[in-house]
């Protein structure tokens, strides 16, 4: 969410710059460690709940025909390299695959604004 | 974790999940076979009148030499640790006179820099470890807390960082400036939030708070306070309360309670933060909103809390009225949401605080049904107060 008075186009431009950096710029080793730790933490959190474990096992069975992915998933994430990340980013994070939607509040009194004549009152 | 070990306790849950996701696949393969029997619906969920028996884990407790009281709950199933440090007497309830919002503001600034780490370094360290450390001292609360979580093998580093945040905050001018910008934006935004405005008015009408503003407005602190106030508060309120320090953690195998105790004793004193607010902008007229937020509540006649209210209104003291009236199975939900369609959700609850508490009911509604929704809400409360609860309804509530 952009702060008051900030142009959404500037926010989008900043996001584009980060994607470009991921595709072609330098990625530090600590950034990769961060991603690995985040994945490990997420998996550990999931394993604490019986329901989440059941969901993961069923998903791995449906998508990979192997519930045992639960036991190997983190090792696969940990084995990824910076080159892997950049290859995937260049292949998939491209404008052709993207939909950008910007929503802004209606100005007070404008057609369709809450309280304006004829405006809906949906929650 | 071994897969076989994981599967054993999951059988009942799996039966639901597997069926849900695999049914279409099975259906395709059986297209030429006889059609499956139509499912039989019972029409209502089975209700057991048995009291659920739960065996709660027992915490290891000890008094540390630094004055803190330590409680540890061991849970060896996953490699993570969660902790909470509680400081009684350091919440926003104890804001100094004329300084509403100081505790909350101080808490918000605690992790924005220490004598040895910048705000960015703290954030990067936590991100890199996939950990969290958070300080809070909400307005109206008697306690301040430092909460954190980490993977087991990162716990020492995260606890050291939490200790640094607690003991050595530096309140950099730059970060205070940024905080003010964020706080002002938040203040403007909350003025368009019906929930906030409802809570604000509720505080004034029911809790009889002088300013009428007990939530969300750090305006005065954001506008006027200098770093010295935050420094002074953090030192006076937190260093003076080492005995109020508690930690509750759960940890993985290899992390014994003795280890946790050793780490905690090294922390020395703690500190936190605090705040309240003032009203710097007027609420917009309710006629310009598509959504209204309604709230009703009461405290005891002398501010002692909900015990008196429960007695006077014949609501039961054991809290069961919440099951009858509030919650997703309660009367309010059934009547105002399911039957009348006024709202997505309507709830009531009791807050039992140390010095005072209250009972309240609240819901968000479309503007055009505000009047009938309020009327029916009051009607349901009156019914609960004046009419005996049918035995079946009472039993159902108890079974839940």
- Report chain B's C-alpha Rg in angstroms: 26
Which of B13, B290, B344 lies closest to A50 in CB terms? B13
Contact of B51 with chain A, judged by CB distance below 8 Å, is answered with: no
CA neighbours closer than 13 Å in the CB half-sphere of residue B207:
24
What would the pLDDT profile of B243-279 be if each residue is shown by its tens digit?
Answer: 344 444 444 434 556 665 666 565 543 333 322 332 3
Nearest residue of A to residue B284 by CA position? A108
Q: Where are the beta strands (DSSP E) in chain B?
A: 60-63, 69-72, 80-88, 132-136, 143-151, 246-249, 291-298, 343-351, 358-366
Query: Which ipTM was obtained for this model?
Result: 0.72
Give CA torsion, residues B331, B332, B335, B336, to 10 deg.
Answer: -170
Contact of A78 with chain B, judged by CB distance below 8 Å, is answered with: no
Contact of A5 with chain B, judged by CB distance below 8 Å, is answered with: no
Contact of A73 with chain B, judged by CB distance below 8 Å, is answered with: no
Of the candidates B67, B176, B82, which has an alpha carbon nearest to the alpha carbon of residue B132?
A: B82
DSSP state of B112: S
The answer to whether A62 contacts B21, with C-beta atoms less than 8 Å apart, is yes
The answer to whether B130 contacts A41, with C-beta atoms less than 8 Å apart, is yes
Which of B14, B75, B78 lies closest to A58 in CB terms? B14
C-alpha dist (Å) from residue B122 to A39, A40, B111, B162, B245: 20, 20, 7, 10, 23
pLDDT tens for each residue of chain B, 400 residues long: 443 333 333 333 333 333 333 333 333 344 455 666 766 666 677 767 777 778 888 889 999 888 889 999 988 888 899 999 999 888 888 888 888 888 999 999 999 999 999 999 999 999 999 999 999 998 778 889 999 999 999 999 999 999 999 999 999 999 999 988 888 888 888 888 888 888 888 877 766 654 434 444 444 444 444 455 666 666 655 544 443 444 444 444 345 566 656 665 655 433 333 223 323 333 334 444 566 677 776 654 444 433 333 333 334 434 444 445 667 778 888 889 999 999 998 888 877 666 667 788 888 888 889 999 999 999 998 888 888 888 888 877 776 6
C-alpha dist (Å) from residue B195 to B147, B304, B337, B358, B365: 26, 25, 18, 18, 11
The answer to whether A33 contacts B128, with C-beta atoms less than 8 Å apart, is yes
What would the pLDDT profile of B128-167 be if each residue is shown by its tens digit?
Answer: 999 999 999 987 788 899 999 999 999 999 999 999 999 9
Hunting for tokens 């309360």 — which residue is that? B241
User: pTM, whole model, 2 decimals?
Assistant: 0.63
Hunting for tokens 């407005």 — which residue is that? B217
């Amino acid at each position: 969410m952009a702060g008051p008075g900030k142009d959404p186009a500037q926010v989008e431009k900043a996001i584009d710059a980060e994607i470009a950096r991921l595709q072609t710029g330098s990625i530090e080793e600590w950034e990769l460690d961060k991603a690995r730790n985040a994945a490990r933490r997420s998996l550990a959190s999931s394993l604490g709940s019986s329901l989440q474990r059941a969901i993961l096992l069923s998903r791995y069975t449906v998508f990979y025909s192997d519930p045992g992915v639960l036991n190997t998933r983190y090792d696969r994430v940990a084995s990824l390299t910076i080159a892997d990340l950049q290859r995937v980013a260049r292949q998939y994070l491209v404008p052709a695959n993207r939909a950008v939607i910007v929503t802004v509040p209606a100005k007070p009194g404008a057609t369709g604004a809450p309280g304006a004549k004829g405006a809906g009152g949906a929650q | 974790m071994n897969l076989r070990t994981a599967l054993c306790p999951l059988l009942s849950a799996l039966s639901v999940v597997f069926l849900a996701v695999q049914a279409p696949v099975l259906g395709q393969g059986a297209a030429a076979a006889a059609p499956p029997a139509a499912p039989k619906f019972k029409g209502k969920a089975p209700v057991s009148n048995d009291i659920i028996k739960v065996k709660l884990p027992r915490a290891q407790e000890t008094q540390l030499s630094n004055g803190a009281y330590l409680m540890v709950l061991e849970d060896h199933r996953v490699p993570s640790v969660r902790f909470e440090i509680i400081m009684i007497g350091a919440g926003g309830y104890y804001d100094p006179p004329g300084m509403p919002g100081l505790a909350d503001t101080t808490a918000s600034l605690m992790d924005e820099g220490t004598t040895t780490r910048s705000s960015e370094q703290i954030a990067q360290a936590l991100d890199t470890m996939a950990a969290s450390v958070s300080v809070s001292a909400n307005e109206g609360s008697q306690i301040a807390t430092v909460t954190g979580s980490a993977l087991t093998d990162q716990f020492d580093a995260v606890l050291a960082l939490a200790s640094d945040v607690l003991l050595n905050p530096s309140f950099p001018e730059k970060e205070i400036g940024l905080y003010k910008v964020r706080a002002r934006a938040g203040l403007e935004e909350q003025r368009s939030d019906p929930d906030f405005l409802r809570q604000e008015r509720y505080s004034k009408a029911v809790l009889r708070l002088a300013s009428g503003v007990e939530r969300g407005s750090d305006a005065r602190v954001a506008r006027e306070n200098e770093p010295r106030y935050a420094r002074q508060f953090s030192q006076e309120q937190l260093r003076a309360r080492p005995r109020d320090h508690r930690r509750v953690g759960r940890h993985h195998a290899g992390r014994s309670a003795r280890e946790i105790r050793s780490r905690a004793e090294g922390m020395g004193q703690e500190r936190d933060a605090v705040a309240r607010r003032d009203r710097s902008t007027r609420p917009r007229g309710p006629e310009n909103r598509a959504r209204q937020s309604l709230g009703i509540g009461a405290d005891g006649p002398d501010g002692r809390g909900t015990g008196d209210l429960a007695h006077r209104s014949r609501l039961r003291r054991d809290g069961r009225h919440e099951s009858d009236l509030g919650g997703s199975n309660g009367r309010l939900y059934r009547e105002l949401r399911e039957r009348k369609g006024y709202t997505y959700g309507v709830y009531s609850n009791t807050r039992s605080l140390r010095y005072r508490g209250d009972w309240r009911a609240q819901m968000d509604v479309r503007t055009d049904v505000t009047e009938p929704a309020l009327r029916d809400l009051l009607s349901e409360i009156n019914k609960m107060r004046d009419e005996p609860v049918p035995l079946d309804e009472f039993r159902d509530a108890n079974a839940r």
